[in-house]
Amino acid sequence: MNSNEQITTLPDTQNLTDIREIPIDKVGVKNLKYPIAVLDKECELQHTIATITMTVDLPKEFKGTHMSRFVEILQNENREIHVDSIYSILEKMQERLHATRSHIEMEFPYFKRKSAPVTGKNSLIDYIVNFHAMRNHKTKDFIMTVKVPVTTLCPCSKSISKYGAHNQRGEVTVSVRFENMVWIEDLISIVESSASSELYSLLKREDEKFVTERAYENPVFVEDLVRNIVVKLKQNPEIIWYKVEAENFESIHNHNAYACIVSGE
């Protein structure tokens, strides 16, 4: 018997019948690193590395799915995934894994060049972006999430203190569904313009003075922050659904402050 004959006779355990009759909602691979290309408003295209999760549903009669096929599908996209091929990947997952629903989630660092507010010194700052796409039969869904670090200054602390006000770094998470095109950079700008101040990677003394005073002049609670963002999201006709979360890593409390708004709730 040659090696090819040996391979064809190996048992396919995943295809065995499972007697428990319990379907699985999602099964697949997580924490898979792969290069991707994302549209960049300033530079047309940005190349980065995504951490990818790929899953499908599994009917109750099958013991397991074929994990290797997820990786094969991804590797067939050559050396880099372009975001506009996401639904093609989801369709291939359904076909090769005999699934009704397929999901792919990509989380990656996204870099934006920023100029310091006074000196104009340029530097790159990173944000976390997540794409979650789903295909159910032929129905499609896509959610884009952006995590943006900001500075917030407490209005209450400012109103009761003689010498200043406590401020802290916060993190805003914005998720949106949209009709046509929404730029990552536009969501970042909406968040940063709604906080006490945006963050920078490089600040000289003149810039630090400006940022500190700007935050002091624009105090916001987490409640103000999420409301400010939602007002601006509603002005974009392309956005059909949103979820906005703000979390302050409090500088004078041993807990964080949190607020959330979901459209339609």
Task: Please indicate, yes or no, whether residues 126 and 88 belong to a single structural domain of this protein.
Answer: no
Model confidence over 74-106: pLDDT tens digits?
887 667 788 888 999 999 999 999 899 999 999
At 265, is the secondary structure helix, strand, or coil? coil
Task: Please indicate, yes or no, whether residues 123 and 211 belong to a single structural domain of this protein.
Answer: yes
Task: Please indicate, yes or no, whether residues 103 and 120 belong to a single structural domain of this protein.
Answer: no
Of the candidates 165, 167, 168, 223, the one whose C-alpha atom is nearest the C-alpha of residue 194 is 223
> What confidence tier does 233 reach under pLDDT thresholds 50, 70, 90?
very high
Give the Cα separation of 111 and 124 in Å (integer).
6
In a domain, 10, yes or no: no
- End position of a domain, from candidates 107, 137, 165: 107
Retrieve residue 169's tokens.
Answer: 């770094």
Q: Which of 10-14, 92-96, 108-112 has the lowest mean pLDDT?
A: 10-14
Task: Please indicate, yes or no, whether residues 31 and 142 belong to a single structural domain of this protein.
Answer: no
Retrieve residue 129's tokens.
Answer: 């972006």
* Residue type at position 65: T
In a domain, 4, yes or no: no
CB 35 within 8 A of CB 79: yes
Task: Please indicate, yes or no, whether residues 198 and 238 belong to a single structural domain of this protein.
Answer: yes
CB 37 within 8 A of CB 92: no
Task: Please indicate, yes or no, whether residues 101 and 125 belong to a single structural domain of this protein.
Answer: no
| Beta strands at 167-178 and 257-262: parallel, antiparallel or unpaired | unpaired
In a domain, 134, yes or no: yes
In a domain, 260, yes or no: yes
Task: Please indicate, yes or no, whether residues 230 and 133 belong to a single structural domain of this protein.
Answer: yes
Retrieve residue 261's tokens.
Answer: 């708004």
List 260's β-bridge partners, or say none: 245
Judged against a pLDDT cut of 80, whether residue 265 lies above it is answered with no
Retrieve residue 124's tokens.
Answer: 């790159």
- End position of a domain, from candidates 107, 141, 168: 107
Higher-pLDDT residue of 67 and 228 is 228
Task: Please indicate, yes or no, whether residues 80 and 177 belong to a single structural domain of this protein.
Answer: no
Predicted local distance difference test score (pLDDT) of residue 83: 80
Predicted local distance difference test score (pLDDT) of residue 9: 73
Task: Please indicate, yes or no, whether residues 52 and 148 belong to a single structural domain of this protein.
Answer: no
CATH number at residue 63: 3.10.270.10
Task: Please indicate, yes or no, whether residues 98 and 126 belong to a single structural domain of this protein.
Answer: no
Predicted local distance difference test score (pLDDT) of residue 8: 62
Predicted local distance difference test score (pLDDT) of residue 59: 82
Task: Please indicate, yes or no, whether residues 145 and 237 belong to a single structural domain of this protein.
Answer: yes
Retrieve residue 36's tokens.
Answer: 């991707």
In a domain, 46, yes or no: yes
* Location of structure tokens 């991707």: 36
- End position of a domain, from candidates 58, 84, 107: 107
List 58's β-bridge partners, or say none: 24
* Location of structure tokens 């046509």: 180
Domain span at 73: 17-107
| Beta strands at 122-136 and 239-248: parallel, antiparallel or unpaired | unpaired
Length of the chain (residues):
265
Q: Is 221 exposed, middle or buried (0-12, 13-18, 19+ CB in 10 A)?
A: middle
8-state DSSP, 16: S
Structural domains counted in the chain = 2
- DSSP string of 182-251, one letter each residue: --HHHHHHHHHTTSSEE--S---HHHHHHHHHHHHHS---HHHHHHHHHHHHTT-TTEEEEEEEEEE--S
> What confidence tier does 47 reach under pLDDT thresholds 50, 70, 90?
very high
In a domain, 232, yes or no: yes
At 149, is the secondary structure helix, strand, or coil? strand
Task: Please indicate, yes or no, whether residues 121 and 238 belong to a single structural domain of this protein.
Answer: yes
Q: Output phi, psi for 137, to 5 deg.
A: 55, -110
In a domain, 1, yes or no: no
